[in-house]
Homo-oligomer: A and B are copies of this chain.
């Protein structure tokens, strides 16, 4: 768990590694969700691995349907701040429960999709039984 190499890099490099567009990174900075980086003498933003970690986390959260304020709260948990232990416990549990629900829904969807795929597997029959498979209890829309 040695402290990671603290090389600094530009916004373009950060963008590539995090999979987040440059404009979006600046947008996150402006909205306070990603801390202002140091600047070079020329005025260029200079990032560290901590920025990268945080940015990847933000990107993932967005892909998983969390709002910016959700993410702000989750990051506050990671950033400590001056919250009380009890607050943290409650907030954390609420988030964990919401996430569990998301997982359940995704698991249902994945199961149904794989069922559909397996029915369409192998033979290229003129009409695959997709409609039927979607009417039943295990419907994608259920």
Contacts and interface: CB of A to CB of B under 8 A. Distances in A.
B125 A85 contact: yes
A81 B103 CA distance: 29
Nearest to A92: B117
Interface residues of A, number: 52
B63 A120 contact: no
Majority secondary structure of chain A interface residues (helix, strand, loop or mixed): helix
A140 B78 contact: yes
Nearest to A81: B130
B116 A88 contact: yes
- Counting every copy of the chain, the complex holds 2
Contact of A64 (B65, B80, B116, B124): B65
A8 interface: no
Contact of A105 (B60, B93, B114, B116): B60
**Max chain B C-beta neighbours (<10 A), residue from A63, A66, A120:** A120
A120 B95 CA distance: 15
Nearest to A63: B65
24 contacts: A1-B135, A1-B137, A57-B140, A60-B105, A63-B102, A63-B105, A64-B64, A64-B102, A64-B105, A77-B113, A78-B139, A80-B131, A84-B124, A88-B116, A88-B120, A88-B128, A89-B117, A89-B120, A92-B113, A92-B116, A93-B113, A96-B113, A103-B106, A103-B107
